[in-house]
């Protein structure tokens, strides 16, 4: 008997979706193997558990950075009959989890055909701004050259701009906060954990350096088993820090406006412009690189249902960068009015769709890293460092 | 180089670094390359000090003593000492070829001082070796199974591939594994029982090259029945089930055969030391099947494995699930329970929980099996690799039957493991044999080809 029956079950009988059931099966395989333990935070977290309920799997899935290393390092990846494909299955679980945590619940379907949703909202919001500008300004102002302090606000009063965007941002923050709450409850964490400074410090270091997007030190794998071909970490840094610089640029401008009473546009050498230019460049090169990496990705790793969402998000970021830079370059020409409307429309669309698109990955990833920091501490085990991967004699360890 | 695992790749890289032009002929496709190497996780190397990944020193002498103990002295001392000495340099050499080390994995603390683990496991290690070999200009051909060799008077002339293509070379390194996946060959020694063996690694190590070499006058080494065999989950696939079908729970319960009778002391020694005897023990039982029986109190004490245990509310029900005689199993468990003496259970040491007046006894970790639900894992012999091989000298050069060294034929890895391993096994030594002798074989083959 038995020798022919090779079905592998997971640890838990009931799962909300097929992807979660498959993730349970894979984690059962990995837990009896553990070869990938040094690659990232997912495997050590997995090893702390013996069974995998949906909450556990959602946590593990959001901890995964999709670096791809565990696929090419795995002796059981397809065509092996065990068909272990951790990056793909965790991506599937992760993407499903975004919809599950969406607030309000009624908007969860926005994730289903996310590319279309995002494109529609973005287009509408650009249209609204263009149309709004046309209605509220006479063609002479909108399509003529505007220069000097307050040029932008001749088209849209500063207070109106600030009001509209603050409202959008506020809504977004509330929606994402509710999403975070749903995630945190689902994985079974307490509020206290999220408040511990040490865990947050560790999670911030891990997130800001993209520590786990490097295959445990060997580098990530995207196209094949050779880590040298993957530059996703660089492009992600350009995108993220580009975005942050743009954000810093807007924030400084707001401070200038209210504290110093200085109105945009600012001279080329001034802080908001410098920050915005650098950020804009990052927001163009970064997303282009990421798009390229997506196109190059080994099809076997690709989680098809998430493709639209990922592309929409990257294109949206690219649009922010391109329209922002265009506005800077052409701000002293008659095109300024139109460009301003497009840029503001893009930013507004981006704000509105933040809780309903790939943006949330950063939020849940960060929260997962906080929990990971806590769990590692409870193990009294320092996280693996790249240095430990090399067999150098260490005077410290000689005892 | 014939083969495409650790041994062949170390040989290829080392030969290339010596300036030779190198062709690797691997029977499998790219995914399955390095048949058994892709399943590994660590390598045992001597070192005089702790490193960032190894918790303490492991001297050459200690390594050699371990080897003597596990092989019961059946090892070629000169070769073994040479290998152990050379293993020291391996920690750096392997890393220089792009392989990354990491500390011992969760659940393998007992190996933290002696064994260096590969970051990402054996396939990651192999990927790094292949990338380095390719970068250095080694030519690699997949699906290039060698089916014939022309050897004249200890001199390699040419190799023929399955498609009939013939290649000549100045020297040959045979690194094509043992014959563990050749059930017909295994049957010569094990009889029909071999049909019930599961092969833990590749289905490609059929021993074709080993057989050709032995037939063409190379000296044989090792006992053909000796191999590394462990008890693995009987539900594992015939080939390539790998590490995840192993079971670490023998010490927590009792092991019965298909007649529901116990047959060996389950608590003989600390588990890692006993790990490798259970394959042979189960192979000697009727139908080569056995069942590890334990209760709820032990369920979480050992590493999880791939398949869930079979569970039941009572021992007779469990017997029915397993297809065993319920009364017989109940009697075996009752007799065992009655013989268990009081003691303090501790699975980290040889504790004082033992049976009295039971045959065979359970000398440690004996606790009554009484807390429902009851569990069982069916197990079969899982063959890791065979030890019969070609005899070599310190240059990894094969010796011919008459004792003369071959002119230009070298061996590394499983195909010559029997030189060092007469019997028994020490975790991680398979990779040491492949890497150390691979590196030597490549270097010597390159020098040989040049002269
Ligand atoms: C599940 C498992 C776990 C293991 N874990 C460890 C471990 O952690 N540490 C350790 O030290 N050892 C371990 N071992 C043992 C280890 O795998 C072997 O000792 C080692 O990989 C042997 O290397 P090799 O290069 O000789 O053989 P392999 O890696 O098996 O390579 C032999 C190659 O030769 C090819 N070949 C065969 N015949 C031909 C032919 N006629 N023509 C061309 N090519 C041919 C095969 O396709 C194969 O790829 C493990 C083994 C298994 C099965
Ligand atoms: S991905 Fe594969 S190699 Fe890695 S832990 Fe899981 S089963 Fe093991
Ligand atoms: S982060 Fe990388 S190694 Fe870790 S699970 Fe995800 S894909 Fe695998």
User: Which candidate, B226, B128, B231, B216, places its Cα nearest to that of B172?
Assistant: B216
A2: closest chain B residue by CA: B235
User: Which candidate, B95, B116, B113, B99, places its Cα nearest to that of B41?
Assistant: B116
Structure ipTM = 0.95
How far, in Å, CA of B256 to CA of B279, rounded? 14
H or E element, residue B134: helix B121-136
pLDDT at A380: 53
Smallest CA–CA separation between B257 and chain A, in Å? 13
pLDDT digit string (tens) for B286-317? 999 999 999 999 998 988 889 999 999 999 99
pLDDT at A139: 82
CB–CB of B121 and A216 under 8 A? no
CB–CB of A35 and B102 under 8 A? no
Cβ-contact A259, A335 below 8 angstroms: no
Q: Is A33 in the pocket of ligand 2 (CB under 6 A)?
A: yes
Domains by residue range for chain B, with CATH: 6-226+387-450 (3.50.50.60), 229-381 (3.90.700.10)
Domain residue spans of chain A: 107-201+214-367
Helices within chain A (DSSP H only): 18-31, 42-47, 54-63, 69-73, 86-101, 114-136, 139-142, 158-186, 191-195, 197-209, 232-255, 271-296, 307-329, 336-353, 360-378
Q: Is the pLDDT of residue B348 over 50?
A: yes
User: Which candidate, A42, A383, A367, places its Cα nearest to that of A188?
Assistant: A367
Cβ-contact B35, B28 below 8 angstroms: yes
CB–CB of B240 and A393 under 8 A? no
How far, in Å, CA of B93 to CA of A363, rounded? 42
How far, in Å, CA of A3 to CA of A15, rounded? 28
The beta-strand segments (E) located in B258-359 are 290-295, 310-312
pLDDT at A179: 97
Cβ-contact B263, B332 below 8 angstroms: no
Cβ contacts below 8 Å, chain A against chain B, sum to 150
pLDDT digit string (tens) for B150-159? 999 999 999 9
Cβ neighbours of B38 (radius 10 Å) = 29
What's the average pLDDT block by block, 10 residues per block, for chain A (399 residues)?
Answer: 50 91 96 95 94 96 97 97 97 97 94 92 92 86 85 88 92 97 97 95 96 92 90 96 95 91 89 95 97 95 92 95 94 90 94 95 98 84 45 37
- Characterize B272-310 residue by residue with b for buried, 16 or more Cβ atoms within 10 angstroms of its Cβ, and e for exposed: eebbbbbbbbbbebeebbbbbbbbeebbeebbbbbbebb
User: Which candidate, A222, A233, A231, places its Cα nearest to that of A296?
Assistant: A222
Smallest CA–CA separation between A149 and chain B, in Å? 58
The best mutation among B24, B30, B40 to test binding of ligand 1, ranked by most ligand atoms within 8 Å of the C-beta, falls on B40
Cβ neighbours of A229 (radius 10 Å) = 14
Cβ neighbours of B360 (radius 10 Å) = 13
pLDDT at B105: 86
How far, in Å, CA of B360 to CA of B356, rounded? 10
How far, in Å, CA of B341 to CA of B363, rounded? 10
User: Which candidate, A28, A40, A19, places its Cα nearest to that of A94?
Assistant: A19
User: Which candidate, A372, A381, A399, A391, places its Cα nearest to that of A199?
Assistant: A372
| β B227-233/B397-399 pair status | unpaired
Angle at B182 between CA B177 and CA B186, to 5 degrees: 105
H or E element, residue B128: helix B121-136
The number of the ligand nearest the C-alpha atom of B121 reads 2
Compute the distance from residue A85 Cα to the ligand 2 centre, in Å.
Answer: 9
- The number of C-alpha atoms within 13 Å of B352 and in the hemisphere containing its C-beta is 3
User: Which candidate, B57, B25, B32, B56, places its Cα nearest to that of B161?
Assistant: B25
How far, in Å, CA of A200 to CA of A185, rounded? 18
Cβ-contact B410, B173 below 8 angstroms: yes
Cβ-contact A28, A11 below 8 angstroms: yes
**In chain A, what residues touch B306 (CB-CB under 8 Å)?**
8, 28-29, 32
Mutate to test the interface with B, among A36, A37, A86, A298 (most CBs of B within 10 A): A37
pLDDT digit string (tens) for B363-413? 999 999 999 999 999 999 999 999 999 999 999 999 999 999 999 999 999
Cross-strand partners of B232: B246, B380
Percent over 70 (pLDDT), chain B: 100
Angle at A36 between CA A35 and CA A38, to 5 degrees: 110
**In chain A, what residues touch B323 (CB-CB under 8 Å)?**
1
CB–CB of A33 and B244 under 8 A? yes
pLDDT digit string (tens) for B215-238? 999 999 999 999 999 999 999 999
User: Any idea how long chain B is?
Assistant: 451
Mutate to test the interface with B, among A9, A34, A71 (most CBs of B within 10 A): A34
Cβ-contact B289, B257 below 8 angstroms: yes
B71 lies within 8 A of chain A by CB: no
pLDDT at B14: 98
- The number of C-alpha atoms within 13 Å of A121 and in the hemisphere containing its C-beta is 21
Q: Is B121 in the pocket of ligand 2 (CB under 6 A)?
A: yes
CB–CB of A3 and B244 under 8 A? no
Smallest CA–CA separation between B379 and chain A, in Å? 9
Q: What is the mean pLDDT of chain B?
A: 96
What's phi and psi for B394, nearest 5 deg? -65, -20
**In chain B, what residues touch A383 (CB-CB under 8 Å)?**
none
String of DSSP letters for A168-216: HHHHHHHHHHHHHHHHHHHTT--HHHHH-HHHHHHHHHHHHHTTTTTGG
Cα Rg for chain B, rounded, in angstroms?
Answer: 23
Using CB atoms within 10 Å of the CB of residue A203, give its burial: 0 to 12 exposed, 13 to 18 middle, 19+ buried: buried
Q: Which residues contact B277 (CB under 8 A, 6 or more apart)?
A: none
- Characterize A21-40 residue by residue with b for buried, 16 or more Cβ atoms within 10 angstroms of its Cβ, and e for exposed: bbbbbbbbbbbbbbbbbbbb
pTM of the model: 0.94
Cβ-contact B433, B417 below 8 angstroms: yes
pLDDT digit string (tens) for B19-42? 999 999 999 999 999 999 999 999
pLDDT at B85: 98
**In chain B, what residues touch A70 (CB-CB under 8 Å)?**
120
Cβ-contact B404, B154 below 8 angstroms: yes
Compute the distance from residue A66 Cα to the ligand 3 centre, in Å.
Answer: 5
Q: Is B8 in the pocket of ligand 1 (CB under 6 A)?
A: yes
- The number of C-alpha atoms within 13 Å of B242 and in the hemisphere containing its C-beta is 26
pLDDT at A385: 45
pLDDT at A7: 57
Cross-strand partners of B336: none
String of DSSP letters for B178-197: -STT-HHHHHHHHGGGGGG-
B384 SS3 class:
strand
User: Which candidate, A236, A191, A185, places its Cα nearest to that of A361?
Assistant: A236
Cβ-contact A366, B29 below 8 angstroms: no
B344 SS3 class:
coil
């Amino acid at each position: 008997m038995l020798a022919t029956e090779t079905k592998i079950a997971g640890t838990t009988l009931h799962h909300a979706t097929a992807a979660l059931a498959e993730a349970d099966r894979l984690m059962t395989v990995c837990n009896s193997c553990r070869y990938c333990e040094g690659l990232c935070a997912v495997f050590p977290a997995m090893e702390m558990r013996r069974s995998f309920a949906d909450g556990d799997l959602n946590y593990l899935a959001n901890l995964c950075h999709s670096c791809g290393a565990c696929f090419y390092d795995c002796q059981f990846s397809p065509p092996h009959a065990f068909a272990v494909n951790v990056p793909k299955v965790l991506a599937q679980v992760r993407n499903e989890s975004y919809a599950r945590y969406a607030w309000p619940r009624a908007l969860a379907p926005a994730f289903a055909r996310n590319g279309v949703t995002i494109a529609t909202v973005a287009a509408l919001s650009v249209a609204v701004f263009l149309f709004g500008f046309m209605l509220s300004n006479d063609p002479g102002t909108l399509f003529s050259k505007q220069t000097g302090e307050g040029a932008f606000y001749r088209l849209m009063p500063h207070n109106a701009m600030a009001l509209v965007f603050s409202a959008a941002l506020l809504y977004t923050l509330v929606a994402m906060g509710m999403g975070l709450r749903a995630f945190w409850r689902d994985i079974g964490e307490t509020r206290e954990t999220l408040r511990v400074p040490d865990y947050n410090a560790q999670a911030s270091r891990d997130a800001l350096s993209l520590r786990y997007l490097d295959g445990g030190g060997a580098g990530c794998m995207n196209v094949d088993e050779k880590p040298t071909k993957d530059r996703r970490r660089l492009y992600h840094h350009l995108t993220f820090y580009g975005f942050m610089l743009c954000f810093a640029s807007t924030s400084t401008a707001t401070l200038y406006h209210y504290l110093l009473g200085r109105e945009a546009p600012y001279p080329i050498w001034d802080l908001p412009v410098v920050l915005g230019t650098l950020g804009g460049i990052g927001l163009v090169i970064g997303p282009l690189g990421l798009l390229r990496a997506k196109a190059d990705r080994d099809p076997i790793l690709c989680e098809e249902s998430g493709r639209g969402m990922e592309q929409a998000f990257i294109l949206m970021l690219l649009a922010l960068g391109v329209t922002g830079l265009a506005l800077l370059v052409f701000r002293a020409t008659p095109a300024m009015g139109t460009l301003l409307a497009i840029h503001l429309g893009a930013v507004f669309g981006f704000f509105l769709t933040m809780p309903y698109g790939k943006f949330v990955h950063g939020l849940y990833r960060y929260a997962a890293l906080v929990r990971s920091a806590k769990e590692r501490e409870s193990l009294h085990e320092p996280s693996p460092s790249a240095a430990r991967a090399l067999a150098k004699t260490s005077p410290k360890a000689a005892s | 180089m014939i083969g495409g695992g650790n041994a062949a790749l170390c040989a290829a890289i080392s030969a290339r670094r010596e300036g030779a032009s190198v062709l690797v002929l691997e029977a499998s496709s790219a995914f399955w390359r390095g048949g058994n190497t892709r399943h590994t996780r660590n390598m045992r190397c001597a070192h005089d000090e702790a490193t960032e990944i190894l918790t303490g020193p492991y001297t050459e002498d200690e390594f050699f003593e371990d080897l003597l103990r596990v092989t019961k002295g059946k090892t070629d001392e000169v070769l073994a000492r040479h290998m152990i000495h050379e293993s020291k340099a391996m920690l750096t050499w392997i890393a220089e070829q792009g392989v990354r080390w990491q500390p011992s994995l969760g659940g393998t603390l007992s190996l933290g001082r002696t064994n260096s683990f590969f970051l990402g496991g054996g396939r990651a290690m192999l990927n790094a070796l292949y990338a380095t070999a390719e970068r250095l200009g080694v030519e690699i051909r997949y699906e290039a199974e060698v089916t014939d060799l022309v050897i004249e008077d200890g001199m390699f002339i040419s190799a023929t591939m399955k498609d009939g293509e013939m290649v000549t070379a100045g020297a040959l390194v045979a690194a094509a594994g043992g014959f563990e996946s050749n059930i017909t060959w295994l049957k010569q020694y094990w009889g029909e029982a071999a049909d019930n063996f599961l092969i833990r690694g590749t289905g490609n190590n059929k021993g074709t090259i080993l057989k050709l070499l032995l037939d063409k006058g190379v000296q044989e080494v090792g006992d053909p029945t000796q191999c590394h065999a462990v008890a693995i989950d009987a539900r594992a696939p015939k080939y390539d089930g790998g590490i995840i079908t192993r079971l670490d729970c023998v010490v927590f319960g009792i092991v019965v055969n298909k007649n529901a009778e116990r047959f060996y002391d389950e608590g003989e020694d600390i588990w890692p030391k006993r790990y490798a005897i259970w394959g042979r023990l189960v192979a000697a039982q009727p139908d080569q099947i056995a069942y590890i029986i334990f209760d709820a109190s032990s369920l979480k004490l050992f590493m999880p494995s791939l398949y869930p245990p079979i569970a039941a509310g009572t021992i007779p029900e469990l017997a029915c699930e397993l297809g065993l005689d319920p009364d017989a199993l109940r009697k075996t468990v009752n007799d065992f329970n009655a013989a268990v003496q009081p003691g303090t259970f501790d699975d980290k040491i040889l504790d004082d929980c033992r049976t009295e007046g039971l045959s065979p006894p359970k000398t440690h970790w004996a606790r009554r099996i009484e807390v429902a639900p009851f569990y069982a894992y069916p197990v079969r012999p899982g063959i890791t690799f065979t030890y019969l091989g070609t005899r070599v000298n310190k240059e990894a050069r094969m010796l011919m039957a008459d004792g003369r060294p071959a002119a230009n034929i070298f061996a590394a890895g499983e195909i010559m493991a029997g030189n060092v391993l007469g019997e028994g096994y020490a975790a991680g030594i398979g990779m040491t044999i492949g890497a150390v002798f691979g590196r030597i074989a490549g270097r010597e083959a390159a020098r040989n080809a040049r002269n």
